[in-house]
Amino acid sequence: MFIETIKFFYDVVTYVNSPLLNCTTKWVEEFFLFILASMYQNACGAAAASAGGCVEGDRDCHSLISKEPTVPVEHDYSGFDIVKATQYGAFQRVKDLVDAGYNVNQRDSETVTLLHWAAINNRKEIMRFFIDQGSEVDAVGGELDATPLHWATRQGHLDAVVLLMNAGADPTLRDAEGCSCIHLAAQFGHTALVAYFVARGVSPDLQDKGGMTPLMWSCWKVCSLDPTRLLLTLGASTKLTDSTQGNTALHWAILARNTTAISTLILQAQASLDIPNHRGDTPVSMLQNYVGSVWIGSKVAEKIKEAMTTKHSHNFFVRIAKDKRVKWWCMVGTPFISFYIAGLILGANLLILIKMFLLVCLYIVLHFTGQLFYDDRLMALLPLSIYLATKVWIYVTWIVYIMPHAPLLTSVIFLSSSGALWYCFLKSWLGDPGVISTTQDLRFRTIIELAERGPGGFEPSSFCSACLVKRPIRSKHCSVCNRCVARFDHHCPWVANCIGAKNHKYFLGFLACLVLMCCQVLYGSSQFWEDQCNVVPRRDGFFDVLFKVGRCDPWVAWVAANSMLHLAWVFMLFICQLYQISCLGMTTNERMNRGRYSHFISNAGKSPFSRSAFLNLVDFLECNCFGFVKPQVKDWMTSYDLDKTTEHQPLLRHKDNFQYV
């Protein structure tokens, strides 16, 4: 309710101040905007202090400055002077007045030019006309001594900025506050403008009069993920300090209690926690008093504790526990050791209660080992290690226990299918899933191309603000791997890789081979029990079989139980994947998020890529079935549009807004 009230007053101020008073009372508008924005940001700060970090209304906070009120539609512009005609976009009236002899470079009492008014209102046609008539693109005017490019940047008008830059406007000029255009874009969260300025040659580390960089302004003013993440991707330094207080970007994020910026700088950019400002405060000393606060995330708190422990501890064992190599080997080796110890406990000649007690103790030891040695940044290794440990002990069990009692043909099939399993696994694990690779030069060219296409070019459906690449259709940015993957299906923790266009069929083969392997282990185990334990399922009851199996050799029973567990969930995953590929013609990501993609919405929720169950499978496997069918092979790395027969709409739609000043 408070936000809406402020917006109402803003609309009143800007509307009354625009057509009636023109530019003579611009200071009134700026004064009220300053007061209203300050009130809102105070509310943001209060909410952040109590609720943790930046509030969800950050977009509303920035829209206070860029929101454009609705005004009555005018049909008769003959009574408009040239300033009002420029503000309203009455091109013919503007043209008539200029043709009658009005000088386009004539300034008002505040030295504001017509190009300023056209730029702040995003009047592209009028701007082109003024530029063609010789309007000065870098004219300085207004109380802030700003150029038209400054005015367009404050409002986030990408079209106007592109037009001015192509006309030769200088984005490095500073206004009366010492800010260039990239600093203004960063302050107001105009991510597309920040990207465009950097792509056009502006340094992401350009400092304003006070030494503030765009990254510092973004961390101080903007609560959302971008443009902070974008600036880091473009190479902005986290070590630079401003000249007034000696703060880094992380210092400013902490002062603003900007949860998103803090976690992005610490966890993703690995920003230093030990750089002191002019007061001697380091980020870690500023944050240590807030560990446990709701606006400090758990991973950030863990990082702070680790930094404090490492800094103040001279204990050899503590340093060993914090060593990254020790953590890596611990996370990789723990599943192998714990699997073996659990099997030993189950096979020991002890009472069942003692076995249960020992298993509980094993769990407790593993829990505290994880607390002490595991690293959140290496957690992706754990599922992969569990899978590898299970398979290694299955091979050991087959060779030592099952092979002497299983038919030769069974062992041959087992080893052959294992070879296929490892081939598909390595392709899924180490193979390229279809990463959309890029270079810095290509990023800049993509940004410029999309910017000059218009604001719609930066739609999330066509542009990734994390990788700064043009996004092919069906691709998605993986938050785990921090990269865009073509025809993204999902990120699989069991292979520690994304599943996408280039490794999806190998992943399906991996699942099929794993199902076959688990079935063979269960069959081989039954042969072992029948030969060694005199177990005959047709003769013995279910509980008798379990009792004999447990008493005969618990280790084989332990491995068989793990194989059965793997068989259950892997088989379900395999069937689910087959259903999505053949019957739906979708990836896992598309099936779960089809309500977010316009090409699924416009197709009544069905996949526009689907042909038929058989042909979908043929296309997926790229198999011609000995020449009987012809698969449709498409390069999803470079496919940016649907087929011509399918209408493609952007995911998000921008409305034309105008600022009447």
CA angle 650, 656, 660 (to 5 degrees): 160
Secondary structure element (H or E) that encloses residue 302, with its range: helix 298-312
CA distance linking residue 261 with residue 254, whole number of Å: 9
The residues that bridge with 478 in the sheet, in sequence order, are 483
CA distance linking residue 304 with residue 375, whole number of Å: 13
How many C-alpha atoms does 436 have within 13 Å on its Cβ side?
32
Contact 89, 126 (CB under 8 A): yes
| DSSP structure string for 66-129 | H-----PPPS--TT--HHHHHHHT-HHHHHHHHHTT--TT---TT---HHHHHHHTT-HHHHHH
SS3 content of the chain, % helix, strand, coil (to 5): 60, 5, 40
Does 533 participate in catalysis according to the annotation? Answer: no
- The active-site residue, picked from 23, 223, 478, 492, is 492
Contact 435, 557 (CB under 8 A): no
Contact 532, 405 (CB under 8 A): yes
Q: Which residue has the tokens 């690449």?
A: 469
Secondary structure element (H or E) that encloses residue 498, with its range: strand 497-499
Residue 419 φ then ψ, to 5°: -60, -45
The residue type found at 303 is K
Q: Kindly provide the b/e burial profile for residues 163-175, where b requires at least 16 CB atoms within 10 angstroms of the residue's own CB.
A: bbbebebebebbb
Query: How many helices, marked H, and strands, marked E, lie in the chain?
Result: 29, 6
8-state DSSP, 280: S
Secondary structure element (H or E) that encloses residue 497, with its range: strand 497-499
Contact 250, 289 (CB under 8 A): no
CA distance linking residue 43 with residue 129, whole number of Å: 43
**How long is the chain?**
661
CB atoms within 10 A of CB 611: 13
The residue type found at 274 is D
Contacts of 283 (CB under 8 A, 6+ apart): 248, 250, 251, 254, 271, 272, 273, 274, 275
Please report, for residues 596, 610, 655, the alpha-carbon distance to residue 601 in angstroms, rounded to integers and kept in the order given.
8, 15, 20
CA distance linking residue 44 with residue 38, whole number of Å: 10
Contact 590, 552 (CB under 8 A): no
Residues noted as catalytic: 492
